[in-house]
Structure 1
Amino acid sequence: MVSRSRFFSPRLTVGNRPGASASPGCMTLFFGVFLLFGLGFLGFFGYQAWKEVRVRTVYRETTCVILNKRLKENSDSDGTTYAPEFTFRYTVDGRDYTCTGYDSFGATSSGRQGKLRVLAEYEIGGAYPCWYDPDDPERAVLVRKVSWMYAFGLIPLVFVGIGLGGVVWGVRNLGKSPEEQSASRAPAKGGALQPDWTQVLPPVKVVPGQFLAKRLQRGTSQGCELGGLLLFSLFWNGIVSVFVWHVVQEWQSGHRPYFLTLFMTPFLLVGVACALWLIRQLLVAGGVKETLVEIEREPVRPGETVSLRFAQPGPLSLYGLSARLICEEKISYTRGTDTYHESHVCEDRELFQMPAMQVPAGSSWDQTVSLTLPDDAMHSFHAGHNDLVWKIVVKGEIKKWPDFEHAFPFRVVTPKARRELE
């Protein structure tokens, strides 16, 4: 069954119209502010984290005597914040030093009762462990713990990411008119492909096939997908786990860090979701051998008929296996300072639908089908604001295992383009 919608010409999309996008210079300045703001705050939290690392790795433990204690208060238009403050004396190499403070961060925060409970844990005149800097003995802390204030260090990462992406885009398009920005990589006037076909066509990976001429490769390799997901998961959860551990310690010590718990909950949920998705993808990668898709010719012309061969290695127990021909157009355009992305399925055709089956170990299920493209099929292209991609999508429903769905892109070109590519 074929489900077809109209094709959107790259010359008529909003993103390619003159005046549809903001000036690259203005966008560079705008996102530059985001970037500087994010880097400034990230540098501040980075410096605080460096001090905390020194406390844990360089500072030396000794015994101190509490001389005085008080509740430090800072008031402004937003309210009053608090911090416990102690004056304590300690001895290093026979010399007495007096220091005022509590931890390495030294920030005030809301929650007066929690700070009073900290003050109550220390008695004036009592002896307690403390840690001093051997390079500067006048610096010392009464506790070594990760402050929950570091959680705010996650916020500048968002500003850095947005700002850096916007600045890179602005610099690359600086000095170009809207027409040049869209025409630099778009099809030439009249819909004809530009002479350099490799810059206009979307990137496609093909290797020599075993039974047919070419074997299609997945748009994103399994290794790259898992590697990127693993790195992001380790980076995100590594940062979040530090603060989660601190929250757990606070609850175990009898404190009630309600605000910090609520603040960290969404970050924790993102980390859990990322970890679960990584586990799912690892199960698919480790328990399912990838479907092999071979094609008689690539690229393919509109109206041409080619053979496709599908092979699914075992062992595998399937509820069903299907393949579809998909043509998808992706459009991006700007309105003011906002960028929008849309996608339209231009062609959706079922190639085969297999019922439940069992593929034994050491064997492979295979199926060969004929594919005829429409005579009016639009050629593949990769332009500044438009992309049109043809692909074979294989979906498998597996018994007692996560399902999989893989896309294998290929190119559709005009006869002239294929002659020059060959």
Structure 2
Amino acid sequence: WNGIVLVAFLVNWQFGYTKSWSWGTTLFWLLALCIGVYLIMQMLRQAFSTVGIGPTLIETSDYPLLPGERYRVFVKQAGALQVKRFEVILECEEEATFEHGTNTRRESRRVYRETVARHEKFAILNSVPYECECEIAIPERAMHSFKSEHNEIRWRLVVRIEADGWPPIERAAPLIVRPVRVQLTRQATRREAAFPAANEHRSSASLDVSSQVRP
């Protein structure tokens, strides 16, 4: 916006159009200037909040994730803040890409959102980071992570912070949710690990049979 306004002003000034400005034109340029200053202030405020609010660490008890399973989540937030609200949110977004001739249009919508942790009105000291543990559950019939040329399913964990003196800020960590068939394979592996004696007996039996049929 500021670049467009600056170029338009320079063109008007170079060709001498500024000498014949009316009240309407002057009001337009004043409005454009106010909008430009507001956008710059918002950009600087967002940049200061990103730098001023300390780093955010997000960890899960297992990775990648599976539908129908529950996982522990550990969040660590650094920085000196007077927090009004601290939320950990599990989200799933679907994005579709449409092509109309030479134009490409993208549409995204949130298909799942759950607030898994919420804490309000507390202080984070610069020397002592804030730590939070919670639990998430991927719905049993949820769509797994997916990406193709025209469609994408994205899962993520979002940490949303509202603090005194700062605009609300969101930090997200992408998640990978595997298909159900991977879950069945992992469950079979767990059953084999739970009964090692049966697995050993089955292996030795196959060796015995092989030794009997050998000429």
Give the TM-score normalised by the residue count of structure 2. Answer: 0.70
- 1:256 aligned onto 2:20: yes
Amino acid at match of 1:255: K
Cα separation, 2, equivalents of 1:333 and 1:272: 36
CA apart distance, 1:290: 2.6
One-letter amino acid of the counterpart of residue 398, structure 1: A
**Secondary structure of the corresponding residue to residue 126 of structure 2:** coil
Q: What SS class does the counterpart of residue 356 from structure 1 fall into?
A: strand
Distance 1:263 1:316, change over 3 A: closer
Q: Which of the residues 63, 70, 74 maps onto 1:305? A: 70
Q: In 2, distance between residues paired with 1:376 and 1:238?
A: 48
Q: Distance in 2 between matches of 1:264 and 1:382?
A: 45
Match in the other structure for 1:351: 116
- Where in structure 2 are there 5+ consecutive unaligned residues? 186-215
C-alpha distance in structure 2 between counterparts of 1:270 and 1:416, whole Å: 53
Percent pairwise identity: 29
Aligned length: 183
Please tell me whether residue 361 in structure 1 is matched to residue 108 in structure 2.
no
SS at match of 1:255: helix
Match of 2:145 in 1: 380
5 Å matches for 1:394-413? 394-413=159-178
Is 1:283 paired with 2:42?
no
Q: 1:262 to 1:250 in 2, by over 3 A?
A: farther
Shift of 1:286: 2.6
Q: How far apart in 2 are the matches of 1:242 and 1:405?
A: 34
Distance verdict in 2 for CA 1:339–1:306, change over 3 Å: same
* Structure 1 residue 269, shift from structure 2 partner: 6.3
1:366-419 Cα deviation digits (max 9, x unpaired): 111121211112110111111110011111111122221122211101265688
Q: Indicate conservation of the 8 Å contact 2:52/2:79, yes or no.
A: no
- Counterpart residue number, 2:204: none
Query: Deviation digits for residues 127-157 of structure 1, max 9, x if unmatched?
Result: xxxxxxxxxxxxxxxxxxxxxxxxxxxxxxx
Structure 1 residue matching 2:20: 3-state secondary structure: coil
* 1:1-400 superposed matches below 5 A: 237=2, 240-241=5-6, 243-244=8-9, 255-258=19-22, 271-334=36-99, 339-400=104-165
**Offset of 1:267 from its aligned partner?**
6.5
Segment of structure 1 superposing worse, 305-314 or 267-276: 267-276
Residue 324 of structure 1 contacts residue 350 of structure 1 at CA under 8 Å; is this kept in 2?
yes
Consecutive unaligned residues of structure 1, counting only runs of 5 or more, are 1-235
Structure with higher Rg: it is 1
CA–CA distance in structure 2, aligned partners of residues 398 and 384 of structure 1: 39
* Greater share of residues in strand: 2
Q: Deviations over 1:151-210 (max 9, x none)?
A: xxxxxxxxxxxxxxxxxxxxxxxxxxxxxxxxxxxxxxxxxxxxxxxxxxxxxxxxxxxx
Amino acid at match of 2:20: R
What does residue 158 of structure 1 align with? none
* Aligned CA distance change for structure 1 residues 332 and 257 (closer, same or farther; 3 Å): same
Amino acid at match of 2:123: Q
Q: Could you tell me which amino acid in structure 2 is paired with residue 371 of structure 1?
A: I
Question: How much does 1:246 deviate?
Answer: 7.1
What do residues 90-123 of structure 1 show as CA deviations (whole Å, max 9, x unaligned)? xxxxxxxxxxxxxxxxxxxxxxxxxxxxxxxxxx
- What value does the CA root-mean-square deviation take over the aligned residues? 3.5
Secondary structure, in 3 states, of the residue corresponding to 1:303?
coil
Give how far 1:340 is off: 4.4
Instruction: Return the offset for 1:308.
Output: 0.6
Q: Deviations over 1:217-253 (max 9, x none)?
A: xxxxxxxxxxxxxxxxxxx6456435546768999xx
Per the alignment, do residues 335 and 246 of structure 1 end up closer, same or farther by CA in structure 2, a change over 3 Å counting?
closer
Q: Give me the whole-angstrom Cα distance separating, in 2, the residues matched to 1:266 and 1:340.
A: 31
In the alignment, is the contact (CA less than 8 A) between 1:283 and 1:402 conserved in 2?
A: no
Cα distance between partner residues in 2 of 1:400 and 1:281: 12
| Kept after mapping to 1: 8 A contact 2:161/2:168 | yes
Using the size of structure 1 for normalisation, the TM-score is 0.38
